[in-house]
Structure 1
Amino acid sequence: MPNIATVLKEEIARVARKETRADTQQLKKASAHYRSDIAALKRRIAALEKLVGRLGKAAAKTAPVATADQPAGTFRFSANGLQAQRKRLGLSASEAALLLGVSDQSVYKWENGKTRPRASQFASIAALRGMSKKEAASRLDAASL
């Protein structure tokens, strides 16, 4: 004949397991719901990243057209052209920057295609094109005084 204490202990353990199972079942359902929400968000992020990539490519293709709104016959800037002009005049980047009235870093970034000069700086860059080596040297001497 079973002892009343063991029967009571077994019943308490059974009721505790039943309550724990109910609590755990709710947590499992919530966890599954959260996992499906996270997966849906990841899919949405991936779709949006693709869209951003496509829009970026489309903007890059149309960017040259957007800068072409200047009237015909205006200055056209080329990073390689600026570097070739500077070397033709025998100038360092810092000397060219001094002649152009900008920082050394600006000339560096322009020549590497990282940035473009402002429209207000095109005049000084165009003037650099028309300079001779002697004229550039004399202007550097005058600027360093």
Structure 2
Amino acid sequence: MTTFAETLKKEIARVARKELREEITLLRKLGATQRSDISALKKEVKSLQSSLKKLEKLRAAPSSSGSLTKPLPADKPTPDAPRGKPGRKVTFTAERLKAQRARLGLTQEQMGQLLGVSALSIWKWESGGASPRAARVPEILGRIAMGKREALSLIEERVA
């Protein structure tokens, strides 16, 4: 009977090892997958942190120069006076156009009349879908830098 008991014990141990081997293999695969996922998440967090630092630096820079809705001296181009700082080129941006239109309290249609274009062009410029021709940019920058009364009187002249 001793041999039967020993044989039964050995068989039970063998079957248990076989079942555990399958379970352990699955757990090892799961652990490897989770380690690679953790590594990918760490890389993503690191890149997001560096992006956040860059954005914080960018956000801090404009706030020291004042509000974006106020016209900058470089926004008023004059033919004989230099624009802004030497070497600094004033460019057209959708955000600037939108902010200046809001500052003037004009609709897109009124802004189009002021600039001599359609309201659809203003919408496309503000949404970033298109941009004005380079030859017109100085004129546009000069017009959007006007005061509210001056802009409204110019619109009334164009309509009449």
Question: Under a length normalisation based on structure 2, what TM-score does the superposition of the two structures give?
Answer: 0.50
CA distance in 2, matches of 1:15, 1:52: 55
- Aligned pairs for 1:95-114 (under 5 A) are 95-100=110-115, 101-103=117-119, 106=122
Query: Is contact 2:108-2:119 (8 Å) kept?
Result: no
Partner residue in 2 for 1:72? 83
CA distance in 2, matches of 1:19, 1:124: 80
Query: Is contact 2:111-2:119 (8 Å) kept?
Result: no
CA distance in 1, matches of 2:154, 2:98: 22
Q: Structure 1 or 2: larger helix share?
A: 1
Partner residue in 1 for 2:68? none
Partner residue in 1 for 2:22? 23
Q: Deviations over 1:28-69 (max 9, x none)?
A: 1222222222222222211111011112333455689xxx8x
Q: CA deviation at 1:14?
A: 5.4
Q: Deviations over 1:91-138 (max 9, x none)?
A: 54422223311536837x86xxx87x7563341352463857554213
Q: CA deviation at 1:80?
A: 5.6
CA distance in 1, matches of 2:100, 2:60: 22
| % same residue | 9
Partner residue in 2 for 1:138? 157
Aligned CA distance change for structure 1 residues 106 and 134 (closer, same or farther; 3 Å): closer
- For structure 1, the residue ranges without an aligned partner over 5 or more in a row are none
Q: CA deviation at 1:140?
A: 1.8
Partner residue in 1 for 2:39? 40
Query: Is contact 2:109-2:119 (8 Å) kept?
Result: yes
Aligned CA distance change for structure 1 residues 28 and 126 (closer, same or farther; 3 Å): same
CA distance in 2, matches of 1:84, 1:14: 83
Q: Which is further off, 37-46 or 126-135?
A: 126-135
- For structure 2, the residue ranges without an aligned partner over 5 or more in a row are 64-73
Instruction: Work out the number of aligned pairs and report it.
Output: 128
The CA RMSD measured in Å over matched residues stands at 4.6
- Give the residue type in structure 1 aligned to 2:48: E
Aligned CA distance change for structure 1 residues 136 and 35 (closer, same or farther; 3 Å): closer
